[in-house]
Amino acid sequence: MKSQQDVQALIEVLGHAKDEQVRQAALEALIEIALSLAAEKEAREIEDFFQRLLQAGTPGEASPQTPPEDENAARYQAAIQALGEIGATAIAQLLSALKNPQKRRYAAQILEQIGWQPGLDENGALYWIAKGEWDRCAALGGIAIAPLLLVLQEQDNETRRAAAHVLGQIGDARAVEPLLDLLVDQDPKVRRAAVEAVGQIGDSRAVEALETALQDKDGTVRLAAIKALAKIGGSRAVEALIAALRGRFVHRLTLEELDKMKSEDARQIATLLRSWDENSAPVHLLLRKAMNEATHPFVVYLLTTMLSEGKHERASAAEALGRIGDSRAVESLIAALKDEDESVRQAATEALEKLDWKPNTAEETVWYWLANRDLSSIGTPEAVPFLIEALQHSDREVAKAAARHLVTLYHAGRLPDAVRQAILECRPLIVQHHDTISQNQWGCHHHQDEGLGVEFPL
């Protein structure tokens, strides 16, 4: 480490040397010393802070005293004063240091201390990046693109995440390709920020990459991809969102993860999932069946996670399709009215309403009003078979609503005798109310009401 005398010697050289190369070398050395001292100063301040924090929590300890200014502090102040007097030449060197991730923060501190003011240019953007004032960087708009793309390639996860976020705020299409490169970043927060940014920019070039992001291991990235596709829109985005609503991407991801596992249980569950036909039962029902059959803890955890995250993705996809307003989504949204999760059914209902869709059949009418929790307008004989079907729904509230309405229709006496008899035959299921107790392979007890417990007096 340079001594106080070395700093003074460099200052002397800068003041008296005739050779420009000697002066330049002295300036570079002085700046390096100043940057190093700034880093030491910051580390010392952090250490002092934690020491005071620890001592403050120790009973009987005297409050720590601020240490006297040491030799390093004096050298730092001398270097700052000298750099301030040199002016433009020193500033140019410090501005160059803003591009170095290891030196950036300290260069910004020195620039501030010698009185430099950031302008509306790339140096100003780098200065605000160094200070962590990302909103002020975003306010520069297109001027900040090049500096942001520079830091987008750096090692620090938080820097890449913040830079991606600001690029999305600015909305310049020049950032699309570099942002898409981040979709394979090791940090899911960075991947999510990149996905959100390309969604804000709204460039259709991102759609194909966003389809891939719908199979990301991280659920927050997949949700962000759905929302980004909704903002971009277009034919291909609609197709991807319909596939997400049907569970195609969750199905693929689950199979990929199962194939990485070596257990026999994983192999058997993967075989079961490969039997899925997208046009048959919803994939989440197959996942639930698979979870009930799984025995290996890792397989159970994977399936539980996919079921939990999948419902949020289906709801978000339904909402996105409603926002885009493409009629090709109607069929899948109608199917989603039967979804096991209430948030998905509600999102599908609202999306269909935005598409000005109206129920055309008795089946559609029953499931639409079940999703809306209002069966008061349903009274035709044609609706009864679908109300009876709803008695088996995995959401007990849906099943109970159907049961109550069937009882109401039965007692109203306006249905044909054959239809009333069909309702009567369901009475055991409607009124049954008992609690079963089961035990899983880990010894945990699970309570489940098998009956609906709805009153059905005769």
- Give the 3-state secondary structure of residue 38: helix
Specify the range with the lowest mean pLDDT, choosing from 322-326, 394-398, 446-450: 446-450
Domain boundary among 101, 117, 133: 117
Residue 149 has pLDDT above 70, yes or no: yes
Together in a domain, 213 and 249: no
DSSP notation for 135-151 = HHHHTTGGGGHHHHHHH
Q: Identify whether residues 264 and 315 lie together within a single domain.
A: yes
Q: If pLDDT is split at 50, 70 and 90, which confidence band does 442 have? A: very low
| Band of residue 437 on the pLDDT scale cut at 50, 70, 90 | very low
In this prediction, residues 39-68 reach a mean pLDDT of 54
What is the tens place of the pLDDT at every residue in 212-238? 999 999 999 999 999 999 999 999 999
In this predicted structure, what is the pLDDT of residue 176?
Answer: 95
Q: Do residues 142 and 109 both lie within one domain?
A: no
Of 23-32, 262-271, 391-400, the poorest mean pLDDT is in 23-32
What phi and psi values does residue 446 have, to the nearest 5 degrees?
-130, 130
User: Does residue 446 sit in helix, strand or coil?
Assistant: strand
Q: Do 373 and 458 sit in the same domain of this protein?
A: yes
Q: Which pLDDT belongs to residue 48?
A: 55
Residues 126 and 189 in one domain: yes
Please check whether residues 340 and 369 belong to one and the same domain: no
Residue 55 confidence (pLDDT) = 58
pLDDT of residue 67: 47
Residue found under tokens 């300036």: 27
Which range is most confident: 50-64, 353-367, 435-449?
353-367
> Does residue 303 share a domain with residue 201?
no
Confidence of residue 371 (pLDDT cuts 50, 70, 90): very high
Average pLDDT in the 126-154 region? 92
Across the range 7-15, mean pLDDT stands at 58
The domain in which residue 142 lies consists of: 120-232
Q: Which of 393, 391, 402, 404 has its CA nearest to residue 369?
A: 402
Q: How far apart are CA 27 and CA 92, in angstroms?
A: 11
Last residue of a domain, one of 185, 200, 232: 232
Confidence (pLDDT) at 97: 79
251 in any annotated domain: yes
Same domain, residue pair 333 and 405: no
Instruction: Give a yes or no: residue 203 inside a domain.
Output: yes
Residue 61 included in any domain: no
Question: Which pLDDT value is given to residue 230?
Answer: 95
Predicted model pTM:
0.79
285 and 334 both lie in a single domain: yes
The whole-number pLDDT of residue 198 equals 96
Flag whether pLDDT at 38 surpasses 90.
no
The residues near 400 (Cβ < 8 Å, ≥ 6 apart) are 452, 453, 454
Distances (CA, A) of 250 to 153, 217, 225, 239, 303: 30, 10, 13, 15, 10
What is the distance of C-alpha 74 from the center of its chain?
47
pLDDT tens profile 65-105:
544 455 555 565 665 666 655 666 677 777 887 888 877 88
Burial of 248 (0-12, 13-18, 19+ CB in 10 A): middle
Q: How far apart are CA 458 and CA 452, in angstroms?
A: 17
Q: Which residues pair with 448 in a beta bridge?
A: 436
Last residue of a domain, one of 326, 342, 357: 357
Flag whether 64 is in a domain.
no
In-domain check, residue 25? yes
- Do 222 and 135 fall into the same domain? yes
Count of CB atoms situated within 10 Å of the CB of 23? 17
> Rounded to the nearest 5 degrees, what angle is found at the Cα of 196, between the Cα atoms of 190 and 200?
140
- Neighbouring CB atoms inside 10 A of 313's CB total 22
Confidence grade of residue 117 (pLDDT, cut at 50, 70, 90): confident
The confidence score (pLDDT) of residue 448 equals 52
Structural domain contains residue 401: yes
Domain of 275, CATH number, reads 1.25.10.10
Q: Please write the tens of the pLDDT for every residue from 276-318.
A: 877 777 888 888 888 888 889 999 999 999 988 999 999 999 9
Q: What pLDDT does residue 358 have?
A: 95
Q: Is residue 63 assigned to a domain?
A: no
In a domain, 67, yes or no: no
**Residues 373, 392 share a domain:** yes
> How many independent structural domains does the chain possess?
4
| Same domain, yes or no: 217 and 256 | no
Rounded Cα distance between 252 and 275, Å, is 12
More confident residue, 92 or 391: 391
Q: Which of 296, 323, 345, 115 minimizes the C-alpha distance to 232?
A: 323
Regarding predicted confidence, which is higher, 162 or 31? 162
